[in-house]
Amino acid sequence: MMVKNGVVKKVAIGLVVVLLGGALLSGISGITGAGVDQSDESEFVVPKGEPISIDGVLSEDVYTFVCEIPKQQKPELIYFACADGNTGIGKIEWSTWEATGARGVGEYFANDCDPDCANGEFEFTNVNVAIDKAIGVKGKVHLTDLTYESVDEGGVSGEWNLAEFYLVMDKNK
Rounded Cα distance, 129 and 65, in Å = 15
Q: Are residues 73 and 153 in the same domain?
A: yes
Tens digit of each residue's pLDDT (9 = 90 or more) over 150-162 = 999 889 999 999 9
Rounded Cα distance, 121 and 74, in Å = 28
Q: Are residues 93 and 20 in the same domain?
A: no
Does a structural domain hold residue 140? yes
Tens digit of each residue's pLDDT (9 = 90 or more) over 77-114 = 999 988 899 999 999 999 999 999 999 999 999 999 99
Q: Long-range contacts made by residues 79-83, C-beta under 8 angstroms, separation at least 24?
A: 80/160
Rounded Cα distance, 120 and 85, in Å = 12
% the chain with pLDDT above 90: 55
Does a structural domain hold residue 41? no
* Global confidence as pTM: 0.71
Note down the domain range covering 64: 59-171
Q: Are residues 9 and 81 in the same domain?
A: no
Rounded Cα distance, 122 and 108, in Å = 10
